[in-house]
Amino acid sequence: MHRSRIEPVWKEAGVDHRKAARPSKKPKAVKVCVACGRAFTWRKKWERCWEQVRYCSDRCRSLRRPG
Ligand SMILES: [Zn+2]
């Protein structure tokens, strides 16, 4: 009696290539809010006055004001 032996055939063509390295985007500017102390990232609305931005939001800016 002959026993038919089936051997698994591995094809390299089907190998799933996964790139571990992600294309890193440009690091966005980050500042720390002087009111709440939390870090916040650059936003489109600050593109013209980013250097003067100190608060993460208008809310924090108003909190800073006395009254
Ligand atoms: Zn804040």
> Cα(19) to centroid of ligand 1, in Å?
38
> Cα(34) to centroid of ligand 1, in Å?
7
- Per-residue confidence of the chain (67 residues) as pLDDT tens digits? 667 777 776 656 555 656 566 766 666 799 999 999 999 999 999 999 999 999 999 999 998 666 5
Measured at the alpha carbon of residue 25, what is the angle toward residues 45 and 39, in degrees to the nearest 5?
Answer: 50
Give me the pLDDT at residue 5, please.
Answer: 78
> Cα(4) to centroid of ligand 1, in Å?
73
DSSP assignment string, 29-55: PEEE-TTT--EEE--GGGTTTGGG---
**For 66, what's the count of Cα atoms within 13 Å in the CB-facing half-sphere?**
0
